[in-house]
């Protein structure tokens, strides 16, 4: 049986991973559970891992994978609109669907071919990306509803604490608006593209890195155009 805090943390990890395609950071988990320090989060994660509900993935920043959900989750998450569903397995590799884990039922996987539009900086912005370099197969379930989607290869490490590493493929839904906290593709001054977390501060736009080595960059809102929102992540090993 899980404690209330363990259930809350598991629900938060699940909802944020479903919404953003990546797990929340330790700071985000600490704030969500109103804990004073990250050591409390470490203890909760260790307890969930020992009970077989999650596992930590080696050599990946803050990488967590939910293995199963308890029946009690339905009651714990009902007030927050959380509805647990079957946890998906590994994402598709760039050239084939992932194999199911032992005991996992085989289900049809609907995959779509998305254009990879080149590389985008998770660091200092680079020139705007406009050419298709190749295509990649992406699970249909990863795509965020209707609308056009495309993929980009990440260059740099400024989003590493958001679980986005150099060489990852990010799946982007085309849109020109964003909510605070969204990870977006931003076009700066009509010539530089970068992958950052979006924050609006009055008439200014802050593009936040997820790595303390990089400073937040702030621009007048007319110099930043939202090109799309992160909805998924694909990693090759």
Q: What count of residues does the chain have?
A: 237
Give the start-end residues of each E strand in the chain. 54-56, 64-66, 111-121, 126-127, 134-139, 149-155, 169-173, 183-188, 192-201, 204-208, 217-220, 224-234
CA gap 188, 98 in Å, rounded: 36
Q: Which candidate, 85, 71, 68, places its Cα nearest to that of 15?
A: 85
Q: Which residues pair with 142 in a beta bridge?
A: none
Ramachandran area for residue 229 (φ above 0: left; ψ -120 to 50: alpha; else beta): beta
Write down the residue that tokens 């992406």 correspond to.
138
Catalytic residues: 158, 196
Angstrom distance (rounded) from CA 30 to CA 26: 6
Whose tokens are 């295509």? That residue is 135
Residue (of 100, 110, 105) closest to 138 by Cα position: 110
């Amino acid at each position: 049986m899980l404690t209330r805090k363990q259930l809350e943390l598991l629900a938060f990890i699940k909802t944020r991973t479903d919404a953003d395609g990546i797990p929340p950071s330790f700071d985000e988990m600490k704030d969500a559970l109103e804990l004073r320090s990250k050591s409390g989060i470490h203890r909760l994660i260790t307890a969930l891992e020992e009970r077989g509900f999650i596992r930590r993935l080696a050599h990946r920043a803050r990488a967590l994978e939910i293995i199963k959900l308890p029946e009690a989750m339905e009651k714990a998450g009902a007030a927050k609109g959380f509805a647990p569903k079957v946890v998906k397995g590994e994402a598709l590799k760039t050239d084939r669907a992932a194999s199911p884990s032992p005991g996992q039922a085989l289900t049809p996987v609907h995959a779509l071919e998305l254009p990879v539009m080149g590389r985008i900086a998770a660091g200092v912005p680079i020139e705007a990306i406009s050419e298709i370099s190749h295509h990649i197969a992406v699970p249909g379930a990863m795509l965020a509803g209707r609308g056009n989607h495309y993929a980009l290869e990440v260059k740099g490490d400024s989003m590493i604490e958001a679980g986005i590493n150099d060489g990852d493929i990010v799946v982007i839904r085309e849109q020109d608006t964003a909510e605070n906290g969204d990870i977006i593709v931003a076009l700066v001054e009509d010539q530089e593209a970068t992958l950052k977390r979006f924050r609006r501060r009055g008439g200014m736009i802050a593009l936040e890195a997820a790595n303390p080595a990089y400073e937040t960059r702030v621009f007048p809102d007319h110099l930043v155009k939202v090109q799309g929102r992160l909805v998924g992540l694909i990693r090759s090993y």
